[in-house]
Amino acid sequence: MSRQFSVAVAGATGAVGQTMIRVLEERDFPVGEIRFLASERSEGKELTFKGRKVVVRKLDHDSFEGVDIALFSAGGQRSLDYAPSAARSGAVVVDNSSAWRMDPDVPLVVPEVNPHAVAGYRKKGIIANPNCSTIQMVVALKPLYDYARIKRIVVSTYQAVSGTGQKAIKELEEEALAWADRIRGGEKAGTDEAYGYAGEYEYRAYPHQIAFNCLPHIDVFLDNGYTKEEMKMVNETRKIMEDPDIQVSATAVRVPVFFSHSEAVNVAFEKDVTPEKARELLGRAPGVRVVDDPSANVYPLALDAEGQDHTLVGRIRKDISQPNGLDFWVVADNIRKGAATNAVQIAELLIREYL
């Protein structure tokens, strides 16, 4: 009989935590014991795993005795507070927050890109899950990098509100419904204010209306004019690809989509990569699905990516502004491949190769 593992999910009641639980079930991860951990306000709730009810426990420093793998989706500060305790208890932590990503003693892993890096967990007992927008981009870049090495990346992201959490999903729903109610009532129909709230709505998740809008503002602005989200893509890409010389510039935009991030990626290579070669390389790359027939209106869509684990790539074309350049469009479910599924894939690597 194959070995069973004790698994804890910290932040189990959140959107990513619940998706981690679902992915563990879907992929038939060899779970012997499951523990669901969350904040005090969720203590005592019941969640279901493989048809049986499991009571949620309060996340604490002594929550991890006997645990083999701890999947964390409890936020950066809680990870800083509790991940070391989990590691000291003997668990290997796979953390979804940004807390440990740039720690030189913590591997930052996308299994399709740098699976060998998992071995670095031995230093601190922690493995970092990259940012959702970084994950889908490097999955698409890896086969192209191996063929022609990348010199420079310019990426613009179009990120779903689920990346901010349940409050943002609810805010987009409320804004869209409020707009529809007003339009149906004729109050604003045909006016310049039809799509805006003119200050009458209390924004909670974002500083501006997100319905029917695009916000070039994800996370806080830094002194260099980039946001923290944009700099995550810069620094994480270099670490995952193990190439500090790659030049990366990112613009991260929040858009009124519930699930799945989309990205326009421009890449400059050291040698020419034709669109045909790129499609060939991507077509056999793990975790990638090429969706690329613009003549038939076939290209990656956020709605198509929702609920699946592949990274969809299309609109592959030569960059007409520079030699050795390509442009393409990348879409993936930010809650699944961008968070929960990637974490479970890391756990699968651990039990297959190391534990």
Q: 145 and 61, same structural domain?
A: no
Q: How confident is the model at residue 2 (pLDDT cuts 50, 70, 90)?
A: confident
* In a shared domain, residues 146 and 274: yes
**203 is a domain residue:** no
Q: For residue 46, tell me if it sits in a domain.
A: yes
Residues 345 and 329 in one domain: no
Is 1's pLDDT higher than 70? no
User: How confident is the model over 16-63, as pLDDT tens digits?
Assistant: 999 999 999 999 999 999 999 999 999 999 999 999 999 999 999 999
pLDDT at 24: 98
Considering the domain architecture, whether residues 286 and 233 belong to the same structural domain is answered as yes
Please count the structural domains in the chain: 2
At 118, which CATH number? 3.40.50.720
Residue 70 forms part of a structural domain: yes
Asked if residue 125 and residue 143 are part of one domain, the reply reads no
pLDDT at residue 293 is higher than 90:
yes
Structure confidence by residue, pLDDT tens digits, 295-344? 999 999 999 999 999 999 999 999 999 999 999 999 999 999 999 999 99
Distance from C-alpha of 212 to C-alpha of 207, rounded to nearest angstrom: 14
Per-residue model confidence as pLDDT tens digits over 242-266: 999 999 999 999 999 999 999 999 9
Residues 158 and 272 in one domain: yes
Task: Name the residues annotated as catalytic.
Answer: 132, 261
Whether the pLDDT of residue 153 is over 60: the answer is yes
Percentage of the chain lying above the pLDDT 70 cut: 95
Domain membership flag for residue 25:
yes
Instruction: Measure the CA–CA gap between 50 and 150, rounded to whole angstroms.
Output: 44
CA distance 302 to 304: 5
CA 229 to CA 222: how far, in whole Å? Answer: 10
Tokens of 206: 């974002």
pLDDT tens by residue, 70-90? 999 999 999 999 999 999 999
The pLDDT of residue 202: 75
Cβ neighbors of 348 (< 8 A, separation 6 or more) are 27, 29, 111
Residue 92 domain flag = yes
In the three-class reduction of DSSP (H, G, I as helix; E, B as strand; rest coil), residue 187 is classed as: coil
Does any domain span residue 177? no
Say whether both 160 and 234 belong to one domain.
yes
pLDDT in tens, 177-186: 988 888 877 6
* Residues 234 and 264 grouped into a single domain: yes
CATH number at residue 292: 3.30.360.10
List, for residues 96-126, the tens digit of each pLDDT value.
999 999 999 999 999 999 999 999 999 999 9
Question: What rounded mean pLDDT belongs to the chain?
Answer: 95
pTM score, whole prediction: 0.95
For 66-203, where are the alpha helices, taking DSSP H only?
A: 76-88, 132-148, 166-185
Residue recorded with tokens 């990503």 = 101
Structure tokens belonging to residue 51: 């048809």
**In this structure, is residue 58 part of a structural domain?**
yes
User: Do 151 and 289 belong to one domain?
Assistant: yes
Which residue in this structure is represented by tokens 């534990």? 355
Give the range of the structural domain holding residue 219, as residue numbers without chain letter.
134-164+213-334
Residues 223 and 293 in one domain: yes
Q: Decide if 200 is inside a domain.
A: no
Q: Is there a single domain that holds both residue 86 and residue 153? A: no
Which of 237, 264, 246 minimizes the C-alpha distance to 151? 246
pLDDT surpasses 50 at 189: yes
User: What is residue 132's predicted lDDT score, i.e. its pLDDT?
Assistant: 98
Pair (158, 52) in one structural domain:
no
| Helix%, strand%, coil% for the chain, nearest 5 | 35, 25, 40
